[in-house]
Amino acid sequence: MGAFHEGHLSLMRTAKRENECVVVSLFVNPTQFGPKEDFTRYPRNLERDAEMASQAGVDVLFAPPVSEMYPRVAASIHVPEVTERWEGAVRPGHFDGVATIVCKLFNIVRPSVAYFGYKDLQQCLVIKRMVEDLNLPVELSFQETTREGDGLAMSSRNAYLSPEDREKAPEIHTQLEASCRSIRDGKPVDEALVDARRQLESSGFSVDYLELVSLHTMEPLTHYTEGSAIIVAARLGKTRLIDNVRL
Amino acid sequence: MGAFHEGHLSLMRTAKRENECVVVSLFVNPTQFGPKEDFTRYPRNLERDAEMASQAGVDVLFAPPVSEMYPRVAASIHVPEVTERWEGAVRPGHFDGVATIVCKLFNIVRPSVAYFGYKDLQQCLVIKRMVEDLNLPVELSFQETTREGDGLAMSSRNAYLSPEDREKAPEIHTQLEASCRSIRDGKPVDEALVDARRQLESSGFSVDYLELVSLHTMEPLTHYTEGSAIIVAARLGKTRLIDNVRL
């Protein structure tokens, strides 16, 4: 989407290390924003992003205008099941917009491997499901979330945080790690999640969800199994942060 | 879909003349049938179809089982606008099923050129729109409808006609040609269409629609322009026939 930060650059550098030619798309995709979301105020700085991508070893920056990607109402892709809950429930149509633009970009660029960050875990599963279901000829490579020194997951939305909220924000990661450890140590899942939620709320967060989910279906789990993750969405002021840890 | 007839074979021979390697898909696609449609009674004869395709010069027959193409509820593609009327209105979800399976087949086979018959005109426009909107890397080649000696458009559903209805069926093409000529000669479009519809109904057809439409949008036209077609759907007994002529 743009507003590149160290998380994006890390994906680019990994892609360059593993491939000869790296193409990065820079496109603030209107179809994945809801009518009340921040499409117009989403940060855009083509020159800065181009310079950063170039420094990271990117060969081609693909930054088309909206009118070229969407000259009219376009055919769209709906991914079932993994889109139903969490971000999909809060942001109706969001993942259809994501799936559609990613499919278009794949068809235009035709990469052998495509890199995405686990920060947007549900988005990773939506893209994986689309690729499998539509038989798209691309390999997916999901990379670990890049974090600030204090644990806050990198996100272009972190820039919206007030200085006070920025100080509180790493608590999300602290609580994810804590509940992850307690569950692994045998604490019942519901207790671990309630504890973490209480801690976040007492630190001033409004928690939208904090759940243990299956990495295959995004369905909530009541017991720890292989292939699960704790996912969280919580608001500080007007800024909504999401994060996750895989168990 | 299978139940190959001369219309399909003609597409295969054209494809072989114009390309080195021809792949034909043989797949009765469940997702494009409505719950009350003829998915289970759709004619299937793998050996006969394989022999016919081979005789037509086809190099690869791709005939996957349903369980391989749809191991679970799959991501689906919705094409807007051109799907709204006519077959799209009568058969809700039909064109989503068509678009999705065609996209899957394109991604599996990765053809440089894909051949379709104009017999299913709206289907051609749906596929064209999907390819453009999703930037699918394939060239489309639409071929003229193959007809019986008496003008009836070839269709696997012709086999469902009783001998009496089979005799009446070419009247569809006769009336399409007649209204095409009258419109070109300056007769008002609505008059020409009403005349053709009356003729068909007096011959025992139930006419679902008979309209002049734009070849870009499938919207009905009241006046003749470049890039238009007359489309018709009419029933004889339980058998629904569709046909069209481009002006």
Instruction: Determine the 3-state secondary structure of B209 from DSSP.
Output: strand
pLDDT value of residue A242: 98
pLDDT in tens, A1-55: 888 999 999 999 999 999 999 999 999 999 999 988 889 888 899 999 999 999 9
pLDDT in tens, B143-159: 999 999 999 999 988 98
Level-2 CATH architecture, domain B6-143: 3-Layer(aba) Sandwich (3.40)
Catalytic residues of B: 8
The most distant pair of C-alpha atoms in chain A lies apart, rounded to whole Å, by 54
Q: What is the mean pLDDT of residues A213-220?
A: 97
Determine which of B62, B76, B84 to mutate to test the interface with A (most A C-beta atoms within 10 Å): B76
pLDDT in tens, A139-176: 999 999 999 999 999 998 898 999 999 999 999 999 99
pLDDT value of residue B28: 95
Q: What ranges do the domains of chain A cover?
A: 6-143, 160-246
Shortest CA gap B104–chain A (Å)? 5
Q: Where are the alpha helices (DSSP H) in B28-151?
A: 46-55, 66-69, 87-90, 94-109, 121-133
- Please report the ipTM that was assigned to this predicted complex: 0.95
- The tokens describing B51, both together, are 């022999």
Alpha-carbon torsion (A87, A89, A93, A95), positive or negative: positive
pLDDT in tens, A100-114: 999 999 999 999 999
Alpha-carbon gap, residue A211 to A196, rounded angstroms: 10
pLDDT value of residue A43: 83
Backbone angles phi, psi at B184, to 5 degrees: -60, -35
The size of the A-B interface in CB pairs under 8 A is: 64
Contact A133 B103 (CB under 8 A): no
Contact A100 B134 (CB under 8 A): yes
pLDDT value of residue A36: 86
pLDDT value of residue B86: 98
Pick the residue from chain B with its C-alpha nearest to A128.
B75
Alpha-carbon gap, residue B188 to A221, rounded angstroms: 66
Q: Is A107 left (phi over 0), alpha (psi -120 to 50) or beta?
A: alpha
Residue A133 — very low, low, confident or very high, per pLDDT cuts 50/70/90? very high
SS3 of chain A: CCCCCHHHHHHHHHHHHHCCCCEEECCCCHHHCCCCCCCCCCCCCHHHHHHHHHHCCCCEEECCCHHHHCCCCCCEEECCCCCCCCHHHHCCCHHHHHHHHHHHHHHHHCCCEEEEECCCHHHHHHHHHHHHHCCCCCEEEEECCCECCCCCECCHHHHHCCHHHHHHCCHHHHHHHHHHHHHHCCCCHHHHHHHHHHHHHHCCCEEEEEEEEECCCCCECCCCCCCEEEEEEEEECCEEEEEEEEC
The CATH H-level superfamily of A160-246 is: Pantoate-beta-alanine ligase, C-terminal domain (3.30.1300.10)
pLDDT value of residue A156: 87
pLDDT value of residue B209: 98
Dihedral angle computed from the Cα positions of residues B154, B160, B164 and B169, in that order, rounded to the nearest 10 degrees: -30
**pTM for the model:** 0.96
pLDDT value of residue A157: 87
Which residues of chain B have a pLDDT value below 50? none
pLDDT value of residue A211: 98
Quick check: do A6-143 and A160-246 share a fold? Answer: no
Which amino acid would we find at residue B226? E
Q: Work out the number of other CB atoms within 10 angstroms of the CB of residue B173.
A: 21
Residue B76 belongs to what H/E stretch? Answer: strand B76-78
Q: What is the CATH number of domain B161-246?
A: 3.30.1300.10
Interface list for chain A against chain B, based on CB atoms closer than 8 Å: 72-81, 99-100, 103-104, 107-108, 110, 129-130, 133-137
Alpha-carbon gap, residue A95 to A103, rounded angstroms: 12
The secondary structure of residue B17, as a DSSP letter, is H
pLDDT in tens, A178-205: 999 999 999 999 999 999 999 999 999 9
